[in-house]
């Protein structure tokens, strides 16, 4: 398929630069894949479109303060994004570095909060092997020195650093390791999850540490040529059993977000069934993909030409998604990470 099939014009005024005051106050568009019907509601009423026995699968990854701003020993500024740690070496990381002049092996980047980074290898595509030197525990130092890595379209009207750490995070986030949030889960509150549970709607949690590759746009006009970067995931036994029981009983499994979707379908494709598993997921879901697990999807409104948008089109059908996005623009829905939601059944 052509990349142009997944492009659209979005007025800048519809980009949600800041989150809604109340997480569950987002609007909700509901798509029926079979009839093609489009309905409008609010996310707080999502339970009205679900039924007892439905299973929501949520990604409990936690965004960590992966962005660091420092100064090179040559005097220039540098911004670092921690991508992946080296196993068993907490001070060694694969890191993206943005600087006017690219650093060389052996050079250093110092930070105002103390400590410095040493470049130990050049890996290509803006990635470096970096060793961090700091006093005390590295994780504690990073909590004090790092920032939440927000998308570029998030506005400057935010109250500040503590606000980012709370709102650019799901309320059920617990396993730190993501550099971007699974944003479809932003709309859930503890109260809403409790209400859904009282209706007989179950939940299961997996972990996929969202990496920068998830939000890299498709750049090849032939989308089949796009390759997803690997991201670490884990599906624990309790969640796997819940999913297997639901599928066996004919109950619906509804993924919350593209990351939950890719994890479930990656495991099912590799193993032929849902089983406890962990590893690196590299699945690019595009139209023509045969879904083995999903019966429904909760998602946000995605960037033009992005892999999550391609995945939504694979699940709902490209023509229905085009109609839905056109209607969302007419109805002035809020788009992207802090925007409104879509439920596809």
Q: What is the pLDDT of residue 124?
A: 83
User: Which H or E run includes 316?
Assistant: helix 307-316
Per residue in 262-314, pLDDT (tens digit) is 999 999 999 999 999 999 999 999 999 999 999 999 999 999 999 999 999 99
Phi, psi of 73 (to 5 degrees): -65, -15
Q: Tell me what the pLDDT averaged over the chain comes to.
A: 94
Q: Which residues pair with 68 in a beta bridge?
A: 80
Contacts of 341 (CB under 8 A, 6+ apart): 26, 27, 28, 29, 43, 46, 184, 187, 298, 299, 300
Across 138-145, average pLDDT? 93
Q: Which domains does the chain have, with CATH numbers?
A: 3-63+166-344 (3.40.1780.10), 67-145 (2.40.10.240)
Entry pTM: 0.93
Which carries the bigger pLDDT value, residue 89 or residue 240? Answer: 240
Q: Is the pLDDT of residue 159 over 80?
A: no
How many percent of the chain have pLDDT more than 70? 97
The 3-state DSSP class for residue 281 equals strand
| pLDDT-derived band at 100, boundaries 50, 70, 90 | confident
Q: What is the pLDDT of residue 219?
A: 81
The one-character DSSP state at 168 is S
Phi, psi of 257 (to 5 degrees): 100, 160
Contacts of 89 (CB under 8 A, 6+ apart): none
Q: What is the pLDDT of residue 118?
A: 97
Alpha-carbon gap, residue 263 to 319, rounded angstroms: 25
Alpha-carbon gap, residue 323 to 197, rounded angstroms: 32
Q: Which of 156-165, 168-177, 223-232, 303-312 has the lowest mean pLDDT?
A: 156-165
Residue matched to tokens 């109260």: 191
Alpha-carbon gap, residue 236 to 186, rounded angstroms: 22
Q: Is the pLDDT of residue 213 over 90?
A: no
Give every strand in the sheet of 38-42, ordered side by side.
38-42, 27-31, 341-344, 296-300, 253-256, 55-59, 202-208, 231-235, 277-281
Q: What is the pLDDT of residue 90?
A: 83
Q: What is the pLDDT of residue 155?
A: 62
Q: Which of 71-80, 212-221, 289-298, 301-310 has the lowest mean pLDDT?
A: 212-221
Across 90-96, average pLDDT? 93
Instruction: Give pairs for 285-291: CB < 8 Å, separation 24+.
Output: 285/261, 285/310, 285/311, 285/314, 285/315, 286/1, 286/223, 286/224, 286/310, 286/311, 286/313, 286/314, 287/1, 287/313, 287/314, 287/318, 288/314, 289/265, 289/314, 291/265, 291/315
């Amino acid at each position: 398929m052509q990349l142009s099939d997944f492009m659209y014009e979005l007025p800048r005024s519809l980009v949600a630069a800041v989150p809604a005051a109340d997480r569950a106050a987002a609007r909700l568009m509901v798509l029926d894949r079979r009839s093609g019907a489009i309905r409008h509601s609010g996310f707080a009423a999502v339970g009205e479109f679900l039924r007892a026995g439905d299973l929501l699968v949520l990604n409990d990854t936690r965004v960590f303060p992966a962005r660091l701003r420092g100064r090179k020993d040559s005097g220039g500024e540098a911004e670092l994004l921690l991508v992946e740690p080296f196993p068993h070496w907490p001070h060694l990381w694969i890191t993206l570095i943005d600087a006017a002049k690219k650093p060389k092996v052996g050079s250093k980047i110092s930070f105002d909060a103390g400590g410095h980074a040493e470049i130990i290898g050049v890996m290509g595509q803006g990635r470096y092997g970096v060793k961090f030197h700091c006093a005390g525990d590295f994780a504690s130092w990073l909590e004090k020195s790092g920032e939440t890595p927000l998308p570029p379209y998030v506005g400057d009207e935010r109250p500040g650093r503590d606000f980012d750490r709370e709102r650019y995070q799901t309320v059920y986030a617990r396993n730190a390791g993501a550099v971007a949030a699974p944003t479809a889960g932003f709309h859930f509150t503890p109260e809403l999850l409790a209400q859904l549970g009282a209706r007989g709607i179950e939940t299961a949690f997996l972990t996929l540490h969202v990496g920068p590759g998830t939000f890299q746009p498709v750049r090849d006009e032939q989308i089949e040529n796009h390759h997803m970067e690997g991201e670490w995931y884990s599906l624990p036994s309790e969640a796997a059993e819940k999913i297997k029981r639901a599928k066996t009983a004919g109950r619906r499994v509804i993924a919350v977000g593209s990351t939950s979707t890719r994890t479930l379908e990656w495991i099912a494709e590799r193993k032929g069934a849902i089983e406890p598993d962990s590893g690196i997921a590299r699945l690019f879901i595009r139209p023509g993909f045969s879904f083995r697990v999903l019966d429904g999807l909760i998602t946000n409104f995605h960037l033009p030409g992005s892999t999550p948008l391609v995945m939504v089109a694979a699940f709902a059908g490209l023509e229905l998604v085009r109609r839905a996005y056109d209607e969302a623009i007419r109805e002035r829905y809020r788009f992207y990470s802090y925007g409104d939601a879509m439920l596809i059944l």
